[in-house]
Homo-oligomer: A and B are copies of this chain.
Amino acid sequence: MTTENASGHGFKEALYEVIFGYESRAGRIFDLGLIIMIMVSVIAVVLDSVGAFHLRHGELLSSLEWFFTIAFTIEYILRIYSSPHPRGYIFSFYGLIDLLSILPTYIAFLFPQSVYLIVVRVLRVLRIFRILKLFRYIGEANVLFQALVNARRKIFVFLFCVLTLIVIFGTLMFVVEGPANGFTSIPRSMYWAIVTVTTVGYGDISPHTALGQLIAGLAMICGYAIIAVPTGIVGVEIMNEFQRQGPITAETVHKVCNNCNLSQHDPDASYCKRCGTII
């Protein structure tokens, strides 16, 4: 009995090593196979949306989609089963993505269009950084991510000011140009303001009066100049993060929790501070 228990436990641990781990050969092969399957599955959905492909290979693509969805569902159940801290996994970033990437196929019974939303699976490919870990990519990604986290308050302040600008320019143009020139409502004018301030400039709505063009010109120069602000913020934060983290070594990179993918652990941590798994 104890033996069976132990072997059951051993099986669960071995499964954990294969599914969550990347240190063993089996774990790396599993991860690589998974990423290939995700890629194929996403490409199948993308191609299925093209009329010509749907007509010719609709049956095949539909079967593929079901095959992958069932495979990923089994994988999801096995992940929960083998995880030492299931709750930590389920509510982690990757856990939620794993769930989201199988739901659309089932929901499509009710809302057929939602089937395309399984491209959210593409987010699962972000796991590729785990496999590439040995090549220092995850360390580099961490520098970028940490820089953005440090800059979050400044970015929030910046976005807040941009939104204020958009509301004001949108309303101003609604009053100046009016429905006759395509500015049919303030929300639509705000859409125009976003298109203009971000320098996208579709041209589906554009000012026709002289005053409107003057205000539009101001909005453009505003948008053109304030892009300097987030650039400056992020640049400074990346530089700071660069100097703080020092050279990225194998040790700093390996400190990532397999279970919930948290990566900001202290150098001497042995357990994940979020879900308690041994690192």
A191 interface residue per 8 A CB criterion: yes
* Cα A47 to Cα B79 with chains together (Å): 47
Residue of B nearest to A54 (CB): B185
Nearest Cβ distance between residue A159 and chain B, in whole angstroms? 7
A272 interface residue per 8 A CB criterion: no
Q: Is the CB of B232 within 8 A of A122?
A: no
Among A147, A162, A200, max chain B CB count under 10 A is at A200
Residue of B nearest to A155 (CB): B225
Number of interface residues of A (CB under 8 A): 87
Chain A residues 204-249 with CB under 8 Å of chain B are 204, 206, 210, 213-214, 216-217, 220-221, 223-225, 227-240, 242
Q: Which of B155, B201, B214 contacts A200 (CB 8 A)?
A: B201
Contact with B along A125-150 (1 / 0, CB 8 A): 11011000001110011011001100
Contact with B along A174-196 (1 / 0, CB 8 A): 11000000001111101100111
- A90: chain B residues at CB < 8 Å are none
Mostly, the A contact residues are helix
A62 interface residue per 8 A CB criterion: no
* Cα A122 to Cα B164 with chains together (Å): 7
Among A123, A137, A154, A167, max chain B CB count under 10 A is at A167
A277 interface residue per 8 A CB criterion: no
- A137: chain B residues at CB < 8 Å are 153, 156-157
- A155: chain B residues at CB < 8 Å are 225
Q: Which of B136, B147, B156, B200 contacts A196 (CB 8 A)?
A: B200
Kindly report how many copies of this chain are found in the complex they form together. 4
Q: Which of B119, B147, B204, B217 contacts A194 (CB 8 A)?
A: B217
A6 interface residue per 8 A CB criterion: no
Contact with B along A104-132 (1 / 0, CB 8 A): 00000000011011011011011011000
* Cα A231 to Cα B235 with chains together (Å): 7
- A197: chain B residues at CB < 8 Å are 224
Q: Is the CB of A200 within 8 A of B213?
A: no
Q: Is the CB of B229 within 8 A of A232?
A: no
Q: Is the CB of B220 within 8 A of A229?
A: no
Chain A residues 8-57 with CB under 8 Å of chain B are 42, 45-46, 49-51
- A164: chain B residues at CB < 8 Å are 122-123, 125-126
A-B contacts, 14 of them at CB < 8 A, read A46-B167, A49-B186, A116-B175, A116-B186, A129-B157, A136-B153, A191-B213, A194-B221, A198-B224, A199-B199, A199-B200, A201-B203, A202-B202, A203-B203
**Additional 5 contacts, C-beta under 8 A, given A46-B187, A141-B157, A231-B234:** A46-B167, A147-B232, A155-B225, A202-B202, A228-B230
